[in-house]
Amino acid sequence: MKKWIRVLPILGVAVLAAGIGHQSALAKKSEDSVIADRIFIGDVAVGGMTDDEATAAVEKYVDDLADEKITLTINDVSVEATAADLGLSWQDTESVQNAVAYGKSGNLIARYKAKKDLENEDKVFPMPLVVDQEKTTAYLEEHEGELNRDAVDYGLTRENGEFKIIEGQDGIVVDVAKSVDTIDESFQAGWKADSTIELVAEVSKPKGSEEELQKVKDVLGTFSTKYASSASGRKANIANGSKKIDGTVIYPGDEFSVYQTVAPFNADNGYKLAGAYENGTTVDAYGGGICQVSTTLYNAVIRAELEVTERSGHSMIVNYVDPSADAAIAGEYKDFKFKNSTEAPIYIESYANGTTISFTIYGQETRPANRSISFVSETLSTTDPGVKFQESSDAVGTISKTQSSHVGKSARLWKVVTVDGVEESREVFNKTTYKASPTIYAVGVSSENPEAVSAMKAAIATQDEGTIRAAAAQWKNAVQQPEQTTDPTQDPNASQTQPADGTNQAGQTDNSAQQTQPADNQSADQGTTAQ
């Protein structure tokens, strides 16, 4: 009995010790699953949290960043995206595991040191973030129009007789794939407020420089033509075309196209209806008169001795320059193009004041001062345009002029070079053939008298002016017609008709642009050519 009494206290102590040990183990296990105080994951304080609690806290923090702004920039161009736009998220839970284990793993010395460090400062574990590749790619592609830009070449403007240089601008094209990687890498260290990320782009440099443009100071060639007598629509078109070319800078080796610069020919681009050549007749077309612009520029270009790469003459003669000194524009099948064949930039200055259009080409003069050039037109042959009579729905006896004639010509242009006033060379520069275009009269054949109609049609078929006028006089009163206000047997415009060879009644050449010589342009499929 005494033996059992002695054993019981010993068993009690053992049971108590076991209980205490079990509670201690449970407490240690609980302590090991809780993150120590003063520990952060990024900006999130996770001290006192379990693994799951810390994970939830970090995820909420990242979710709350959805509307935060991120500036994406290239040079001086930028756009603002949100974290949601880029699909920003947190996927690396290793930092939570490291936070839980801090001060509880490693040898005794390491654990002791970690705990002592926490007494003096916070421990911050990284919060690496990632972007959604597809969302970020889509965002950049959607905003390429804002981020990308073409290079703007250095330019010139001329004010009060002085040149001013306009600084160029780099061209930018975003490299989307590399930029997505750059954005992703920038968030590997975690979130930063007011983030600005420089995107990856291909940068193209503008043409020219201040040094290069400072060479532009000499007049290389200049030319003017008159258009005072043109109709208002034609005047407006000449002014519009002149303005579109004025101020152009062409760098060495570059080609200039008049058509590409002044087209399209429609009201939206500032053009009016005016006379134009089409299939040997004169019609109204948008841009009528643009050929006087190209022709005037052509004459300045050849005097600057730049390389002409494309030039076409008109289908019919024009009277604002000598034969074979013109340059027609008609759609894309007739264009005037030239190349800057000098070693310095050139600048084109133009003005149109309602009576005169002028072009001046500036550059760096390298030709000898004692050398000069001129261009001489030579007419090789002429073709009489004749007269053409056409039926019209007007009353029998009515004859009206609908188109003036254009003499057909074959001509060539000579380039003459003199040195110290002595002719050094003379060579054919170009040749041009112009079609003849007849004077056209509309002859009325409308009548209630079948015999009168038949007689007039028979007379028109002869194309003999005397026969037609005689028939008109004979059959005018065959059936009572409303009294005509003009003499139907005479050309009502006869007193205004210019001689077919382009001279006035005093025998002098009229070099101004006439309304009967439309300055035109139209598309190639219409066959319309500007004068």
The H or E element that residue 378 is part of is: strand 371-383
Claim to verify: residue 177 and residue 296 sit in the same structural domain: no
Which residues of 143-244 form beta strands (DSSP E)?
Answer: 155-159, 162-166, 171-174, 195-198, 201-204, 218-226
Handedness of CA 437, 439, 440, 443 (dihedral sign): negative
User: Which of 290, 261, 262 shows the shortest CA–CA distance to 276?
Assistant: 290
State residue 478's pLDDT score: 72
Of 182, 209, 236, the domain-final residue: 209
Q: Is residue 226 part of a domain?
A: yes
CA 129 to chain centre: 42
Q: Is residue 523 part of a domain?
A: yes
| CA 207/CA 165 separation, integer angstroms | 13
Claim to verify: residue 365 and residue 332 sit in the same structural domain: yes
State residue 20's pLDDT score: 45
Claim to verify: residue 275 and residue 225 sit in the same structural domain: yes
Tokens 């330019």 found at? 155
Claim to verify: residue 185 and residue 278 sit in the same structural domain: no
Is residue 365 classed as helix, strand or coil in its secondary structure? coil
Q: Is the pLDDT score of 436 beyond 90? A: yes
Contact 90, 62 (CB under 8 A): yes
User: Which of 231, 209, 222, 372 shows the shortest CA–CA distance to 289?
Assistant: 231
How many domains does the chain contain in total? 2
Contact 337, 310 (CB under 8 A): yes
Residue range 441-457, pLDDT digits in tens: 999 999 999 999 999 99
Mean of pLDDT values over 347-364: 97
Q: Is the pLDDT score of 468 beyond 90? A: yes
Claim to verify: residue 202 and residue 284 sit in the same structural domain: no
Q: Is residue 487 part of a domain?
A: no
Contact 447, 396 (CB under 8 A): yes
State residue 194's pLDDT score: 85
Q: Is the pLDDT score of 250 beyond 60? A: yes
Q: What is the b/e burial string over 316-328, where b = at least 16 CB atoms within 10 angstroms of the residue's CB? A: bbbbbbbbbbbbb
User: Which of 246, 167, 262 shows the shortest CA–CA distance to 207?
Assistant: 167
Claim to verify: residue 335 and residue 461 sit in the same structural domain: yes
Q: Which residues, 6 or more positions from 145, have their beta carbon under 8 angstroms from its beta carbon?
A: none
pTM recorded for the entire structure: 0.69
* Exposure on the CB side of residue 93, measured as CA atoms within 13 A: 10
Residue range 362-398, pLDDT digits in tens: 999 999 999 999 999 999 999 999 999 999 999 999 9
| CA 467/CA 473 separation, integer angstroms | 10
Q: Is the pLDDT score of 479 beyond 70? A: no
Q: Which residues, 6 or more positions from 497, have their beta carbon under 8 angstroms from its beta carbon?
A: 401, 404, 439, 491
Contact 338, 256 (CB under 8 A): yes
> DSSP for 88-141?
-B----HHHHHHHHTTTSS-HHHHHHHHHHHHHS-EEE----B--HHHHHHHHH
Q: Is residue 87 part of a domain?
A: no
Mean of pLDDT values over 300-323: 96
Is residue 410 classed as helix, strand or coil in its secondary structure? strand
Of 209, 232, 257, the domain-final residue: 209
Range of the structural domain that residue 431 is part of:
218-480+511-529
Q: Which two tokens stand for residue 44?
A: 């999130």
Q: Is the pLDDT score of 497 beyond 90? A: no
- Residue 266 DSSP label: S
Mean of pLDDT values over 65-86: 93
State residue 151's pLDDT score: 93
Q: Is the pLDDT score of 495 beyond 70? A: no
State residue 178's pLDDT score: 95
The mean pLDDT value of the chain amounts to 86
Of 209, 239, 263, the domain-final residue: 209
Is residue 444 classed as helix, strand or coil in its secondary structure? strand
Claim to verify: residue 342 and residue 468 sit in the same structural domain: yes
State residue 279's pLDDT score: 66
Claim to verify: residue 200 and residue 223 sit in the same structural domain: no
Q: Which two tokens stand for residue 206?
A: 């503008």
Mean of pLDDT values over 286-311: 97
